[in-house]
Amino acid sequence: MTVSLAELLATARVVSLPLSTRFRGIDTREALLLRGPAGWTEFSPFVEYDDGEAAAWLRAALDFGWADPAVPAGAPTSIRVNATLPAVEPERVEAVLARFPGCRTVKIKVAEPGQTLADDLARVSRTRELLGPDGRIRIDANGGWNVDEAEHAIHALAPFDLEYAEQPCATVDELAHLRTRVKYMGIPIAADESVRKADDPLAVARAGAADLLIVKAQPLGGITRALRIIAEAGLPVTVSSALDTSVGLSMGAYLAACVPELEYDCGLGTAALLAADVTEEPLLPRDGAIGVRRVEVSERLLDEHAASTDRTQWWLDRLARVHAIVAND
């Protein structure tokens, strides 16, 4: 798809949104929003990502804002979502989960740098206490353990009835090795970074290194490409987000609505972790779900949360560099 840089710059708006709880080591989330013929779309690769990795995120923005992927007839109009629990102290768990009304599933961050397995156990234990026996708990280590550490941690956390363990180790080989070690526990292994940050997102499926995949529309290059990956992988998936604004979350909701058999609650409720958003009607969880709809952006909120002049220029320069990469596809 060919969209000129001038056309992108004509509608580009950069925002800096405060978080309600520190997450992934940040207190604010920056994003660049664009308006295409189909509506608002988002380009928000994390600031540490290089231009090559960010190119997939721009392809996703163009796919959603200009190509307008269609949701099939009969697709759901709402998507069940999980609560996302950062690596907070046990006494803060209840307050965070209160931001996700009706969510029956909680994804808990573990293996946080500077914390211990005892911290993870305390956080998971408090969550199980609040959810009761019927709630679903999944853990996400973001590749923070080696194989031995992961096996030990999963064994220690198994009594809390884990739905699955997401990206416990960093590499595909480690995931494959770990999966054979923990198979007797009956806890599935999910792959996230090994899909969205990989040159070959299907390698983890071919290696038999995961039981399910975490797919995210922006990092995978958009809805159209993500659906191809899902079809080729042949594994169950969870559709998730990358701490997007409600605009990016709407892209994820469209993707989830296009997945024929969605067995797991999706990680698309993260607008609840934002203390501000770009729309007067954010995609916040209601009764454990979010709607499948496009988001109309508020000019007032764009102005109120506009990034500084320096940060805006940083994003516009980044957009220009990444656009040059995408234009050569």
Residues noted as catalytic: 109, 216
277 annotated as a binding-site residue: no
Q: Locate tokens 């516009």: which residue? A: 316
Residues 6+ apart with CB under 8 A from 260: none
Q: How far apart are CA 225 and CA 48, in angstroms?
A: 23
- 191: phi then psi, degrees, rounded to nearest 5: -110, 130
Q: How far apart are CA 196 and CA 270, in angstroms?
A: 18
- Give the tokens for residue 3: 């969209």
140 annotated as a binding-site residue: yes
Per the rule left: phi > 0, alpha: psi between -120 and 50, beta: everything else, 107 is beta
- 128: phi then psi, degrees, rounded to nearest 5: -60, -40
166 annotated as a binding-site residue: yes
Are 265 and 80 spatial neighbours (Cβ–Cβ below 8 Å)? yes
Tell me 207's DSSP state: T
Q: What is the dihedral of CA 191, 170, 107, 49, to 10 degrees?
A: -90
Annotated binding-site positions for Mg(2+):
140, 166, 192
Binding-site sequence positions: 140, 166, 192
